[in-house]
């Protein structure tokens, strides 16, 4: 959130004179209370200032970056997940490679009987293609990373948690999963990628 010059001045005044009333702030800036009202509302709603009836305004110590951080923490994976590319583990490596380029994705999720069983990335395909195996005959299940070695997120996880997992594990995407207790496995509901995260930050920047 980009603050205006006047909003920055209001923050400085409150810091130095807290608690201070809106009348006093307006007087110091040589403006009317009605002119200041939108600025004070923005600063209060963003958590930078705290307003107490019959007392005045206080500086909370929060910054505009704190506001953005709190906003990100409230966004759930389910809010921005995208459609995953999913194949059965019996599909050939060649067919999976073709599908990956058609869909223009970095990873493909592999299922067995409708439940997540593995994941394959572009690096996996490249490594095995160089190895000289018959891509048309070898099933994708032979080269995938299998459960439980797959890093994933759930719909109620925060997008910040997802971003941390992407960075910590140095991967390009995360499957969004839902546990199927009856089948004793996980269904793939979506995916979160680095592009998803980047797009979110761009939108937050535009809106704020």
Quick check: 5 pLDDT over 70? yes
Q: Do both 67 and 100 map to the same domain?
A: no
Share of the chain above pLDDT 70, in %: 92
Q: What is the CATH number for 9?
A: 1.10.10.10
Residue 171 and residue 193: Cα distance in Å, rounded? 9
Share of the chain above pLDDT 90, in %: 38
Number of domains in the chain: 2
Residue 120's pLDDT band (cuts 50, 70, 90):
very high
Tell me the average pLDDT across 121-146.
85
Tell me the average pLDDT across 104-130.
90
Domain that holds residue 43: 5-72
**Residue 61 DSSP one-character state:** S
Upstream peptide bond of 44 is cis (omega within 30 degrees of 0) = no
Residue 76's pLDDT band (cuts 50, 70, 90):
very high
Residue 40 and residue 4: Cα distance in Å, rounded? 12
Tell me the average pLDDT across 63-85.
78
Final residue in a domain of this structure, among 21, 43, 72: 72
Q: Do both 93 and 126 map to the same domain?
A: yes
Tell me the average pLDDT across 84-106.
93
Per DSSP, helices labelled H in the chain are: 5-17, 22-29, 33-45, 64-74, 77-80, 93-103, 122-130, 159-168, 194-207
Residue 208 domain-assigned (yes or no): no
What pLDDT is recorded for position 179?
93
What is the residue-averaged pLDDT of the chain? 86
Q: Do both 195 and 131 map to the same domain?
A: yes
Residue 1's pLDDT band (cuts 50, 70, 90):
low
Q: Do both 88 and 134 map to the same domain?
A: yes
Tell me the average pLDDT across 43-50.
80
Q: Is 191 exposed, middle or buried (0-12, 13-18, 19+ CB in 10 A)?
A: buried
What pLDDT is recorded for position 117?
95
Cα–Cα nearest to 194, from 82, 111, 108, 66: 82
Quick check: 64 pLDDT over 70? no
């Amino acid at each position: 959130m980009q603050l205006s010059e006047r909003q920055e001045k209001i923050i400085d005044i409150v810091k130095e004179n807290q608690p201070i009333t809106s009348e006093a702030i307006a007087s110091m800036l040589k403006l009317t209370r009605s002119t200041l009202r939108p600025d004070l509302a923005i600063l209060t709603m963003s958590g930078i200032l705290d307003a107490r009836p019959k007392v005045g305004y206080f500086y909370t110590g929060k910054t505009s970056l704190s506001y953005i951080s709190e906003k990100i923490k409230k966004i759930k994976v389910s809010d921005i997940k995208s459609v995953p590319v999913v194949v059965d583990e019996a599909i050939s490596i060649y067919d999976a490679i073709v599908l990956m380029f058609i869909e223009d994705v970095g990873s493909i999720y592999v299922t067995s009987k409708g439940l997540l069983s593995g994941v394959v990335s572009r690096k996996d395909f490249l490594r095995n293609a160089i190895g000289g195996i018959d891509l048309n005959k070898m099933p994708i299940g032979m080269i995938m990373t299998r459960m439980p070695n797959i890093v994933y997120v759930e719909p109620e996880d925060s997008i910040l948690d997802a971003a941390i997992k992407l960075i910590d594990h140095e991967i390009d995407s995360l499957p969004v999963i839902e546990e199927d207790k009856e089948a004793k496995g996980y269904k793939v509901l979506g995916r979160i990628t680095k592009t998803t995260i980047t797009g979110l930050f761009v939108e937050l920047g535009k809106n704020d």
